[in-house]
Each structure stands twice: as C-alpha cells, then as structure tokens.
C-alpha cells in the first residue's frame, strides 16, 4: 500500500510537537543540514537540545552549516557547544543581521517560525519553497564571515564602529530601541549604550530627532558597509 504524501505545509503548535518533528527530521537526515540562528547568545537549554540533536551527525557523515549573528562570537557557551561537536562536519559563519530562524534538512524538509515567539512553527515540504529557502540561505552564507576569522574593519576612519554604524542606519529608518536590539542580536541595555556612544561621537544630542539629523549630516551612512553584513533580523533547536 502506497502511503499518502506528506502535506506541503504543516502547522506545528507547541514546543513538544515542534521538537518531536525536529528530532524526526534529524534522525532521517542523510547528507546535509543548514541552520540559521538569529539573536545573541543562546540559552543553556537551547544549546543542550541542539547538542543532543546534532552530535549524532558525525558518525553519519552529515555536513552542517550554521549561521549566527556577530554578537555570538563572545559567547563562551556557544564555543563550548561547538567544541563538543568536534567530530561533526560543521562550518559556522556569522553576519551582523539575519532573518528569522530557518532549518533545512537534506533539501527535503524545512522549518520556519510562524509569528512571534517560538511556540508555533511551519514544517515545509514543498520542493519549490525549499529550493527558494536554500538559495536564500546560500546567499547569506556567501556574505558571512567564518567564525575563526576576525571581523573586517571594526571601526572606520571616523572612529565609529561597524555595529554603531548599523545602529545609526536603523535609527534613521525609524526603528525603536527594542527593534534595533532584536535585529542586531543585542540586549536592550547594550543597544542603548551603543546609541549613547554614537550620539557622543557625533557631538551629543538631546533627542532622537536631533540624533537622526546628526547622523544624516555626518555622512557616516554614505560609506560602503563592510563585508559580512546583510538582511534583517525566531524555530528553536538545531546547531
């Protein structure tokens, strides 16, 4: 008896069902996994689940590629996690900004979040949609910086670091502090500290409108952005 094909799109509600589906996809994977993990340092629980799911890939010869944001480079938990995956064919790169989470197994099934939070996800099996997501991941990958390589040019000739230049761009676009922090994988206090230092570097400002004017007048956004930056910036799990 021939089994019915799986749905092109399945809505997964609740962390238990999401993790069960990810476990199945991991167990059935044969060749490659692509994961895109935005945000800053990940929690111990997330890393423990990812480790349990990923450490079996080594003996099966599965190749993993994972994208994080630049801010994870200072996460001791993440580096300890990667050290425990030494036997896995794992490549890690970072970007300044990323789109929401994405996981692709064997170009057969993919997972993306549905709405805010992590409690609803979409399981995707449509070949054309997966091909599109795979191409998007590969585009991000080509612009990303390998984890073992230093980031390019931490500060321009004006003394403003790349992260503050990105904050300046998002400020001019009208984003509030919380959205800027989310997109760059920063906590809100760190983000606001960068904004204060950006303001000081441009001569000080009493309000957001004045800071926007100073940014525009300074010309700092007219300079080419360093390599390793792209896109905009949550399904839990994966590497």
- Give the C-alpha separation, 175 to 178, whole Å: 8
Classified as helix, coil or strand, 109 is strand
Task: Tell me the per-residue pLDDT of 88-145, one tens digit each, with 9 for 90 and over.
Answer: 889 999 998 888 899 999 999 999 999 776 789 999 999 999 999 999 999 999 999 9
Q: Are residues 195 and 110 in the same domain?
A: no
Q: Are residues 122 and 28 in the same domain?
A: yes
Element (H, E) at 185: none
Beta carbons of 236 and 101 less than 8 angstroms apart: yes
Beta carbons of 68 and 97 less than 8 angstroms apart: no
Does 141 fall in a domain? yes
What tokens appear for 19 in the block?
Answer: 């993790």
Does 194 fall in a domain? yes
Task: Tell me the per-residue pLDDT of 72-104, one tens digit each, with 9 for 90 and over.
Answer: 887 878 888 888 888 888 999 999 888 889 999
Q: Are residues 211 and 140 in the same domain?
A: no
Q: 12: which DSSP letter?
A: E
Q: Are residues 184 and 138 in the same domain?
A: no
**Domain end position, chosen among 146, 178, 199:** 146
CB crowding 65-99: b at 16 or more within 10 Å, else e: bbbbbbbbbebeebeebbeebeebebbbbbbbbbb
Does 122 fall in a domain? yes
Does 238 fall in a domain? no
- Give me the residues paired with residue 33 across strands: 64, 105
Beta carbons of 92 and 146 less than 8 angstroms apart: yes
Least confident window among 37-46, 96-105, 189-198, 213-222: 37-46
Does 157 fall in a domain? no
Indicate the Cα dihedral angle 156, 158, 163, 168, nearest 10°. Answer: -130
Q: Are residues 13 and 106 in the same domain?
A: yes
The domain spanning residue 15 has which CATH number?
Answer: 3.30.870.10
Instruction: Say which residues have a Cβ less than 8 Å from residue 75's Cβ, sequence separation at least 6.
Output: 40, 41, 42
- Give me the residues paired with residue 155 across strands: 161
Residue 239 has pLDDT above 60, yes or no: no
Q: Are residues 142 and 166 in the same domain?
A: no
Residue 136's domain comprises: 9-146
Tokens 């676009």 — which residue? 173
SS3 per-residue string spanning 52-76: HHHCCCCCCCCEEEEEEEHHHHHCH
- Give the C-alpha separation, 138 to 144, whole Å: 10
Q: What is the CA radius of gyration of the chain?
A: 20
Is pTM beyond 0.85? Reply is no
Does 14 fall in a domain? yes
Residue 65 has pLDDT above 70, yes or no: yes
């Amino acid at each position: 008896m021939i089994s019915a094909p799986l749905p092109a799109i399945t809505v997964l509600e609740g962390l238990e069902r999401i993790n069960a589906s990810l476990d199945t996809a991991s167990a059935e994977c044969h060749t490659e996994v692509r994961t895109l993990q935005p945000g800053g340092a990940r929690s111990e629980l997330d890393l423990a689940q990812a480790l349990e799911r990923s450490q079996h890939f080594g003996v099966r010869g599965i190749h993993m590629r994972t994208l994080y944001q630049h801010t994870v480079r200072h996460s001791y938990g993440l580096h300890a996690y990667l050290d425990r995956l030494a036997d896995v064919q794992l490549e890690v790169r970072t970007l300044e900004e990323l789109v929401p989470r994405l996981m692709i197994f064997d170009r057969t099934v993919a997972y993306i979040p549905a709405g805010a939070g992590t409690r609803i996800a979409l399981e995707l099996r449509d070949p054309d949609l997966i091909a599109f997501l795979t191409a998007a991941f590969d585009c991000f990958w080509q612009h990303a910086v390998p984890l073992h390589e230093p980031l390019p040019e931490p500060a321009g000739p004006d003394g403003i670091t790349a992260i503050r230049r990105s904050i300046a761009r998002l400020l001019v676009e009208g984003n509030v502090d919380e959205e800027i922090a989310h997109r760059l994988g920063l906590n809100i206090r760190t983000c606001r500290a960068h904004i204060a230092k950006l303001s000081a570097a441009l001569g000080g400002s009493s309000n957001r409108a004045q800071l926007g004017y100073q940014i525009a007048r300074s010309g700092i956004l007219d300079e080419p952005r360093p390599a390793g930056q792209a896109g905009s910036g949550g399904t839990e799990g994966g590497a």
